[in-house]
Structure 1
Amino acid sequence: MRTLSFITKNPICRILLIIIIIQPLILIEIAVFRLSHTQIVPCIQVVHGKTEQININNKNEYLARVYQPLSSSILRGIIIFYPHDQEISFLPELLWLYRSWIEMMKTEPSLWRTDLVIYTGVFTLNLQQLGCIYNRIRTNKSESPQCRVFYYQRVHLRDIQNINNTDNQLYQQIDINRSILLKTRLKTYEYVDSINIVAECYPSFAMYDYIVRTDIDVFLTPYFGHFVPYNDILLVGRGGYATKFNTGRFRRIARDMNWLYGNITNIGSTWYGSPRVAQRIANFTLEAMLYLSINEFTQPERERKLGILLWPDWHYGVLLLYGSELAINHLILAENIKLGLANTLLDQFTTTNNPYDFEKNKPLHLHCWHTYKQFSKFLFKRGKYNDIHPRKFINDTSASGFAMRMALESRLMSSTDLKEQLMNAKNSSIL
């Protein structure tokens, strides 16, 4: 009793006692917090020289986890390809991504840095007015977040004979033989550059702890501000192309290529994880895209003469997604890469109007799908939302409301306004 009386009367002892009592509760809370609605691809083991996949009937055993090392310095890069020759079409998308990037920093730990890394052929006036810097890699962890632009020449514009004579190529590792194949075989495929930048431009993003390989027509949410993949897992978003027909076809194609296939399908276009792993997947994706284009599509299909007649079973327009599915399925088995299917975190709809969606699923990243429901990138670019003021959505907690607010604010703000907000962004970051 005397010991108990001493503990309860001594302030230091009382604090220690409280810590001892609540510590298990804190650990339980952290464990619950870390669950992220993300299925982990099952572990691979080698038994008697043969590769075997561990049973995943109980999916609850394979939930990925995310965590918040708030006291650590973490570097992240958002990697995008920006077609300068189509700037009229893609500038609105870049501006709303830029606006959401700044908004995300409000929830980002003060020691973290997230750069927007853009690959394009011309350092346009619009990019300059946004305060982007040109051909300058990040050299330290304390430098303020930056919009960084790096020179990149589109595949179909390359002069293969003089490909190494360009002074601008400071941070590229170009495979000339593959460039020849890409230009010859994929010159009509407009999305090849968005994956080729990850394969070729590793020196410009190797310093980041994590990168997000994504399209331009996306929004970063406040939840991205403090989420990173757990235990070096590469998170991938969800796609919308998988059918029984093409899944079976992928298995057969993998056998024809002498690749392995792990039965993971409907993989989205966004990756979040290690720069080195992303580059490895990108290289295999390009190889798979070349194989598919040459061997699995006819010339009329490659020339889009069939339109969307064969969608969703087999469609040349999603060649990149097909290639990445083959690459990822091969590498999770052949090289044991850690993969998380971020089905509720990445590539989420901008049309969800459920006010509880953000709170429930905590999406990191919204992607504009081909739709005319609000929020629609097509209607936005046509000016159909011009008479709506963003303050209408200031308290809207749905994905649709967030996308509308970010896009409408980016339309009303000047490049100078956005640049100034970026400069002040980390000043308002919180731990």
Structure 2
Amino acid sequence: MILSIVRNNSKRLFFLLNVFLFILNSIILFHQQSIQTCVNTLDSHPTTRQNDIDNNDYTPRLHQPLTSLILRGLLVFFPQSQEQEYLPELLWFYRSWLEMMQQEPFIWRTDLIIYTEKYTLPLQQLGCIYNRIRINKGELPQCRVFPYQTLDFRNGTDEIDKTNMYLYQQFDKNRSMALMEYTKKYPYIDSINIIAECYPSFAMYDYILRTDIDVFLTKNFGHFVPHKDTLLVGKGGYSTAFSARRLTRIAKDMNWMYANITNIGSTWYGPPHIAQRIANFSLEAVLHLSMNEFTLPERQGRLGDVLWPEWHFGVLSMYGTHLAVNHLIVAENIHIGLATTLLDQNTDTKDLYDIEKNNHLHLHCWHTFEPFSKSLFKEGRYNHINPSTLMNDTSASGYAMRLALESRLMSFGGLRQALLTSKALPNS
């Protein structure tokens, strides 16, 4: 009896293993064909590639218009359905916003703008106002919440009710239906879609920062903006020689131009109209990639990280942005600054002078187990640390640690009160 059960289980495991190997082999063959296609087509569309690009053309240029009234918006997507997981990140980002404004010129205004499914109690307790755009340049900084219907919960047969809550969301029904079908298992598409669809809610700002929420603004962000009509992009970590060649080939398949830059980060800082243009093209590229460059098992997440870092559905939005930015640089002459030392900087650097000497504007929690690690913070591994002991630690690690710990210890009401007084009097 026992031997029979063991044999049956062994047969079942053997069968499942063979099925997995068959699927994996099919996917490898699919991507090998893609490699051959890439080799065969690299020279077939010479007009789509600009080979004389000089990376110095993309040096990020900043300036400090300290006496001009500047309006800025910090745009984030907050997945309310996963509030318990992401609320700590929102709180430390909120705390860093308050810290940054201490160094900001008094006449500047920087709003925190949150797109989410529901106006929940924590957002209300933080003092966030609901569904109200900025109409007055002199209004004090605000945390603004706008209702956003995520792609997961859209009904493909109905329009969004624009007469009710979604006043500032431009709904593209056909694109939404396509994204629902081909990116259903991809969790990060809404962070780009808010920029594409919600332009009326942020069009009035001079500059926006499109960012994830597991980030910290530094004090440097308080007094630097991109030069003129330049949009800065942070540093990414998705590119390999294989993926770079493949994305070049895909641009040709799409009949898109290609500026030959890579590792474009998830953070954008610049004029709203340029950000929206990039977002719209990114979504178009995401759809093309999902339909033509990934198999169904990959789109359904069945393979996990097996093909990382060469080609991975988990960074689909990064590939889409890569194609969009490369195309728009050449096709529409948009101005991009590669802010690889300014945005998306590590939170585990111990150099006390790194933030200041390199003008880091923005720290991003990359995957690490060195301090500061967002995963260890959420596990309570840093609870024994008193943030006051870090007041003089100017390293990225110390700065992030202090603000995260303070955000955990401060009440929602305390954070709200700090916002209300952030511009009450001119900075001394």
Q: Give the TM-score category using the shorter length.
A: 0.7 to 0.9
Task: Quote the residue 2:69 is aligned against.
Answer: 73
Structure 1 residues 12-64: Cα deviation after superposition (integer angstroms, max 9, x where no partner): xxxxxxxxxxxxxxxxxxxxxxxxxxxxxxxxxxxxxx89958455x667533
Match of 2:156 among 156, 160, 166: 160
1:239 matched to 2:236? The reply is yes
One-letter code aligned to 2:119? F
Q: How far apart are the structure 2 equivalents of 1:161 and 1:100?
A: 41
Q: Is the 8 A contact 1:106 1:429 kept in 2?
A: no
Match of 1:358 among 333, 355, 358: 355
Q: Is the 8 A contact 1:229 1:273 kept in 2?
A: yes
Q: Could you state the TM-score of these two structures normalised by the residue count of structure 1?
A: 0.86
CA-atom RMSD, angstroms?
1.5
Task: Quote the residue 2:373 is aligned against.
Answer: 376
One-letter code aligned to 2:380? G
One-letter code aligned to 1:181? A
Task: Quote the residue 1:210 is aligned against.
Answer: 207
Task: Quote the residue 1:220 is aligned against.
Answer: 217
The number of residues matched between the two structures is 381
Task: Quote the residue 1:271 is aligned against.
Answer: 268
Task: Quote the residue 1:150 is aligned against.
Answer: 146
One-letter code aligned to 2:309? P
Task: Quote the residue 1:402 is aligned against.
Answer: 399
Q: How far apart are the structure 2 equivalents of 1:73 and 1:303?
A: 47
One-letter code aligned to 2:269? Y
Structure 1 residues 56-110: Cα deviation after superposition (integer angstroms, max 9, x where no partner): 55x6675332111111000000000001111000000000000000000010001
Q: How far apart are the structure 1 equivalents of 2:375 and 2:223?
A: 31
1:313 matched to 2:310? The reply is yes
* Fraction of identical pairs, as percent: 63
Match of 1:100 among 96, 104, 107: 96
One-letter code aligned to 1:279? Q
Task: Quote the residue 1:294 is aligned against.
Answer: 291
Structure 1 residues 93-140: Cα deviation after superposition (integer angstroms, max 9, x where no partner): 000000000000010001100000000010000000000000000001
Pairing 1:37-48 to 2, within 5 Å after superposition: none
Task: Quote the residue 1:45 is aligned against.
Answer: none
Q: Is the 8 A contact 2:88 2:378 kept in 1?
A: yes
Q: Aligned-pair distance for 1:305?
A: 1.8
Q: Is the 8 A contact 1:220 1:366 kept in 2?
A: yes
Q: How far apart are the structure 2 equivalents of 1:65 and 1:185?
A: 38
Task: Quote the residue 2:136 is aligned against.
Answer: 140
Q: Is the 8 A contact 2:257 2:326 kept in 1?
A: yes
SS in 1 for 2:144: strand
Q: Aligned-pair distance for 1:160?
A: 2.3
Q: Is the 8 A contact 2:49 2:260 kept in 1?
A: no
Residues 99 and 429 of structure 1: CA distance in aligned 2, closer, same or farther (over 3 Å): farther
Match of 2:193 among 186, 190, 196: 196
Q: How far apart are the structure 1 equivalents of 2:266 and 2:60?
A: 19
The gaps in structure 2 that reach 5 residues or longer are 1-46
SS in 1 for 2:343: coil
Q: Is the 8 A contact 1:192 1:320 kept in 2?
A: yes
Q: How far apart are the structure 1 equivalents of 2:305 and 2:77?
A: 25
Q: Could you state the TM-score of these two structures normalised by the residue count of structure 2?
A: 0.87
1:418 matched to 2:423? The reply is no
| The 10-residue stretch of structure 1 (300-309 or 370-379) with the greater mean CA deviation from structure 2 | 300-309
